[in-house]
Structure 1
Amino acid sequence: MWVLKPEDVARIRFAFSPLWELVASLRTLQDPARQSVHLPWIKAVRPRLAELDLAELFALIPPKGYLADFLTPPPDTPLPDFAAELDRVRLTPPDRVATEARHVKGTDPAIIDRIVADPAGAVARVTEALRAYWEACFAEFWPRVYGLLERDVLRRSRQLAQGGAKALFAALDPAVNWTGEQLIVDRPWCETGGLHGDGLVLVPTAFYWPSVAVMSAPYQSTLVYPVLGVGTLWEQGPPPAPGALAALIGRSRAQILLALAEPTTTSALAGRMSLTPGAVSQHLGVLSDGGLAVGMRVGKQVVYRRTPTGDALAAGSAPVS
């Protein structure tokens, strides 16, 4: 349970983390039945695992229960770079590595003992193992995961701006309850009290889905929650465009208009539509000129959404049979 003062609520921020997804995916590999939604990814990467040494990672990331927090430092920017996150893991103090390794239960005790005996060497090996695993099994899939997480952050940010903390937390997850002062998370968790003056980070996740997770001191207070729409993550290509809409404005523009049901960026649309960013930008320009979409600046990015006219046109089209 966290007690959030008004200044804490004002410091709520969203971020998503390639490293968190990478670490959570190692749990997915150990218990595929828990997350059958990711079976297409598991089937794609399983043949590649034989060339990797993941023993120490699996020891620190058991199928359930506590996993070593130093592997998932809370994101310090809205969209951290994987290499920068990996550097943060590499710089973890050895005593913290040893302490957290001792807390992990249900894995090979001999490997845990080896990590505790030489935490400096262990963090170097683990960092390298994460890098190799990322390159072999995750980097090519990250744009797809990125697009899903980005859409969720944009949706939740708008929800927070329009309805405040009450609306945000009410829709976040059934395990999260906001009383107006206390944020109660239904997870085994020993801390009770206020935040630490550095705000609360909300991190959507596809690979820890459908669970929530929390982190606190000595880390920044962080709540990891399941992303919406995870069932669409491994769909091949964009949804089919309704025939009437496609005939009216073109199939690619129709698909983009449908995708703009949730605010998103040009780069995320390009990945989702399997088009170049330049092509998506041109289509968005036509949709904007026609009054069907509008761009708005959020930080350093321009986010596009449908206008009410665009909503009406999308809703009034019948799908192709």
Structure 2
Amino acid sequence: MGGKCLAAVDIGGTTIKMAFLTVEGDIIRKWAIPTDQADGGTNIVSDIVRSFSNELKQDGLTNVDVIAVGVGAPGPADPIKGTISGAVNLGWVNNYPLKRLLEEALKLPVFIENDANCAALGEMWRGAGNGTGDLVCITIGTGVGGGIVSKGMIFTGVSGSAGEIGHITVVPENGILCNCGKHGCLETVASATGIVNLYKEEGKEAPDARAVFLQASKGDEAAKRVIDRCAYYLGLAIGNIANTMNPAKIVVGGGVSEAGDALLLPLEQYVRQYTFPRAMEVLSIEKATLGNDAGVIGAAYLAKVKTVS
């Protein structure tokens, strides 16, 4: 491998992505293992440790060759206590001691953060952020995640729940029930699931958001209206975020962003409509560039800033 490296882990609901990276953020090697959600996620840490150790051995290395490990996990994170809460899909509900468990097993410094926050750090460091220290990253997939970077560091808020962009209320009356228990969240109308929800309100059915975008490209007026509504709700939320945070960039990623200009062009128009002119002067909307690597790159950045002078 040549010199000491950073290790990174990005824990998802179906797969756990892992990587070794240089301190400059170049991926040396990456791999993935399935996420074992059985028994309240109690096997996840041991699976990570086993895979990590096997990969080190494969390269003829030990943990001495690793500076630190950065970890992104779903749910609000408390980086100081090293706990994850609210990762319902994994079974980690209240103050799961992820940092302590990994440090005890790996005998290395471990730093944890919310997975969407790690993706934001990754895009800032080596992606669409292009080094800017002030950006907001929005990931639009099955849900809507977000991360806020200010002066090069994640803005977490008091309890680690800052950046929950998907739970901004954009439909204040008669909104769809969200998994969080509120109605009218952005996630219910702008995620892949939300797009299907809106299409259903038009009296039509689609298996997924990709199918709705395909129908729109074929001239389906209902599908076109759905995409416009999705862009409207996103633009309204982003405008309010921009007015509050005054970032240099809004980076949009996730599966839904693959729709490209069909979504991003109307989105930019709505953002312009709802953003304070002074904030809009310096704002650009960029498509995320790192794809599935954003999480591990951001986790590595987290480990780097905590350990490398």
The structure where strand makes up a greater share of residues is 2
TM range (shorter): under 0.3
The structure where helix makes up a greater share of residues is 1
Given the two structures, how large is their TM-score scaled by the length of structure 2? 0.28
